[in-house]
Amino acid sequence: MTSDPSCLFCKIVAGVLPSDEVLRDDHVVAFRDLHPVAPTHILVVPTTHVAHLSEFAGSADPEACARLLAAAAELGTRFGAHGYRVVTNEGPDAGQSVHHLHLHVLAGRPMSWPPG
C-alpha cells in the first residue's frame, strides 16, 4: 500500500488525523466531509495514495476501483433514502482541492442539475 506522508487523506487513512469515519476496509476509508454541502456528505477514498482519477486510466487495479464504487453505492443506499449523488472532482476546472482521489457521496436534500 503506497502512502504520501504529506497527503491530508493519507493521514486520515493512517489514523494520524482524526475523522468522523463511517466505513473502513482494506481498500477504502469513508468519512464525513469537514464542510458538508448536504445533510449527508461523505468522502470515500482509496487506502492507497492515488492523486487523481486519471491515474486509474488504463492501469487501474480492478478490485480497488470496484471497491471504491461499491463503497459509494453502499453509503448512498444507507444514507440516501430518496436518492444520492456521487461526484469526483479532478483538476482546477473541477475545483479539486485535495489531491488524493475521493468520491463525494451527497444525500439528504434535492439537488439541481447541471452542477455549478
Contacts with ligand AMP, residue ranges (CB under 6 A) = 8, 19, 31, 33-35, 43, 89, 95-98
* Catalytic positions: 102
Which one-letter DSSP state was computed for residue 56?
G
Cell numbers given for 10: 493519507
User: Looking at the DSSP assignment, which residues form a beta bridge with residue 74?
Assistant: none
Phi, psi of 99 (to 5 degrees): -95, 60
Nearer residue to ligand AMP within complex by CB, 63 or 94: 94
Least CB distance to ligand AMP at residue 82 (A): 22
| Minimal distance, residue 70 CB to ligand AMP, in Å | 20
What are φ and ψ of residue 22, in 5° steps?
-120, -15
What is the Cα–Cα distance from 68 to 17, expressed in whole angstroms? 21
C-beta of 18 vs 62, nearer to ligand AMP: 18
* Residue 21, beta-bridge partner list: 31
Min. distance of Cβ 100 from ligand AMP in angstroms?
8
Comparing CB distances to ligand AMP, the nearer of 34 and 62 is: 34
